[in-house]
Structures are given as C-alpha cells and as structure tokens.
Amino acid sequence: MTHVLTLLAEHWPAMMAVFAVFTVAAASPGPATLGIMGTSMAKGRAAGMAFAAGVQVGSFTWAVTAAVGLSAWLSTVAWGLTAMKMAGAAYLGWLAFKSLRSALSAGPAQGVTSGAGSLSGHFRRGALLHLTNPKAVLAWIAIVALTQTSGGGTPVLVVTLAICLVIGAFVFQGYALVFASPIMMAAYRRARRAIEGMLAAVFGYAGWRLWASAV
C-alpha cells in the first residue's frame, strides 16, 4: 500500500495534466452533452440524469476497453474502426432525422428529446449514443497513453481512469441538473423548434463527418 501511495505521489503532476485534458474534453459540446442538455430541458431532471447515466456507462465501457488494449486493436485494424464509424454515423443520422422532424412539427417534441417516458429508455439512448461514438474510443486511448507517458504502470493507470470517470460523472450529471432547471425548461418550451433544429444540425454534421471518414 505504501508503495502504491508513493507511486501515485511521484506521478501526480502527470495525472493532473490528464485530468485537465479529460475535463475539457468531457465538458466540450458534442453529441453526448447536447443530448443530455436537450433531454433535460424537454423531459426534466430525472430523464436528463438517466440519459447522462447512460453516457457514463458508455464512457466506462470504453475506459475499460482502452485499459485492456482492445481499443488499440480497433485503431489498428481498419475494418474494426470502419465498422464502428459507420454504425455511429447511422445512429447519429437517425437522431438527426428525428430532431429535424421534431423541428418541422408544430406538435410535441419527436426528436432525441422525446421517446418513451421511461427512465430506462433515456438511459439506453444515452448509452447507445456513446457506445457508437468511435471518438470516445480514441479519446480513451489518448488518456491511457498520456497516463503511461511518465510510467507508473497499472496502479497509476487504474487510479487515473477511476478519477476520470468520477470527473465525467460530475460533468454529465451537472449538465443534466443545470439544464433541467425551471428557467432552462421554460426556455426550451419557447424555443423548442429552434433547439431541435440545432440538435438536428449537430447530429447530422457529426454523422456526416463519421461517414466521410469511414468511406
């Protein structure tokens, strides 16, 4: 135990750099964060937190995958990464279509912010969104690489990944809580069609970029 603590103390500056990079990456606007925001504004705190929890499970899955080296295999085997990119592009395209249909409709939301009212449904959509995002795999590869740049081996890797996952939980759930506030929900009701249109544009662009990089 003393050896592990000494090892962590020795590599703490490098670990802090990893935490800073991960925090910026997790908080930056993207399909996952925008999905959390939209769901929270449209459906409330519980739905947004369930969606965020799904994103966290997807993030945890890729963290473990990166740690055991499988994601490195995906990055070197062309067909593996290509298949993942195409699956992610298809899912983002579907989300873009739903959001666009909602933006053009005068009725209730029908896009990524809609769906069954069950929390499990919101959780599944959040998890699927992150699990079909190849950028998440590559991001965790980068995190693992940064963690091991200064050495430290398995103890430093495990602790670094665990703290990154905690940071991710705070970021994603924080977005859900902030955007589920009465002010944000009222703003969504006033500008629902514009917000759904923006989501359609973001999801569509991200899907197109993934598809273009795969073909």
Instruction: Kindly report, residue by residue over 140-162, the tens digit of the pLDDT.
Output: 777 777 776 666 677 777 888 88
Alpha carbons 67 and 69: distance in angstroms, whole number: 5
Mean pLDDT for the stretch of residues 167-185: 92
Query: In total, how many domains does the chain have?
Result: 1
Model confidence at 58, pLDDT cuts 50, 70, 90, reads very high
Alpha carbons 180 and 161: distance in angstroms, whole number: 28
Model confidence at 169, pLDDT cuts 50, 70, 90, reads very high
Burial of 86 (0-12, 13-18, 19+ CB in 10 A): middle
CB neighbour list of residue 117: distance below 8 Å, 6 or more residues apart: 43, 47
pTM metric for this prediction: 0.76
- Domain limits at 58? 2-214
Model confidence at 64, pLDDT cuts 50, 70, 90, reads confident
Q: Which residues of 174-191 are buried (b: 16+ CB within 10 A; e: fewer)?
A: ebbebbbeeeebeebeee
pLDDT at position 36: 92
Is the pLDDT confidence value at 5 over 80? no
Tokens of 91: 């899912």
Answer for the pair 96, 200: CB distance below 8 angstroms, yes or no.
yes
